Amino acid sequence: MYIIGLTGGIACGKSAVAESLRRNYSAITFDIDEVTHWLSEPGGELFEIYVRHFGKNIITDTGVLNKKLIGEIIFNNPAERKWINSVAHPILLNYARQFLVECQENGAGMVVLEVPLLFEAGWEHLFDEIWLVYTKRQLQIKRLMYRDCLTKEEALARINSQMTREEMCSRANVIIRNVKGRIEVSEQIRAAIKGRIF
């Protein structure tokens, strides 16, 4: 089993790379953001932890977490961001490990874990190889504003809270440039996979 850690800045195209690996190379993929999402639903482990920490004012009238409000808190307060990561990352790591054990038991070939804060969480040891996806900063800002309905200032706060592209690139094994679209990305993936047997 060959395990790839897929990371990169917010709104840089990680999911598109994961989808290509799943569709074209039969990779089994696992998105940590999806796990975070359902753990943050009412009754979920993270939901309860966040409410205890931030108070009931972070719950909307419909009973779910006000993620926009939580975002405003953590992306403008480094101490709160550090706290939320210190709580969430160990829980998410357990789910990632369980997934890898299941993949091993099922005889998987290529496994891809999509982990936005891979380096910040210190998960490098989980992977045989780390792939980084990046795009131009202005394109990243536009994508994030459109995707999450954010102002430019809100988008920049989220981008600037992450590790710099230069540092991530220096720590990755494979670097995927996502600027011109799917064809450009597919060619880079093909080059990175060429000659390997999974």
Beta-carbon count within 10 A of 90 CB:
10
Instruction: Find out whether 119 and 171 touch, Cβ atoms under 8 Å.
Output: yes
pLDDT at 27 (0 to 100): 96
Average predicted confidence (pLDDT) for the chain: 95
pLDDT at 194 (0 to 100): 87
Looking at residue 174, its amino acid is: V
Instruction: Find out whether 39 and 50 touch, Cβ atoms under 8 Å.
Output: no
Q: Which residues contact 38 (CB under 8 A, 6 or more apart)?
A: 44
**Distance separating alpha carbons of residues 75 and 82, to the nearest angstrom:** 10
Task: Report the relative pairing of strands 110-114 and 28-31 from DSSP bridges.
Answer: parallel
For residue 27, give the nearest of 9, 10, 2, 54 by alpha carbon: 2
pLDDT at 118 (0 to 100): 97
Tens of pLDDT along 127-145? Answer: 999 999 999 999 999 999 9
At 122, is the pLDDT very low, low, confident or very high (cuts 50, 70, 90)? Answer: very high
Tens of pLDDT along 36-87? Answer: 999 999 999 999 999 999 999 999 999 999 999 999 999 989 999 999 999 9
DSSP for 22-65, written as a single string = HHHH--EEEEHHHHHHHHTSTTSHHHHHHHHHH-GGGB-TTSSB
At 181, is the pLDDT very low, low, confident or very high (cuts 50, 70, 90)? Answer: confident
pLDDT at 56 (0 to 100): 95
pLDDT at 59 (0 to 100): 96
Looking at residue 143, its amino acid is: R
Q: How far is CA 180 from the centre of its chain?
A: 21
Mean predicted confidence (pLDDT) in 187-195: 92
For residue 130, give the nearest of 171, 187, 190, 189 by alpha carbon: 171
pLDDT at 195 (0 to 100): 73
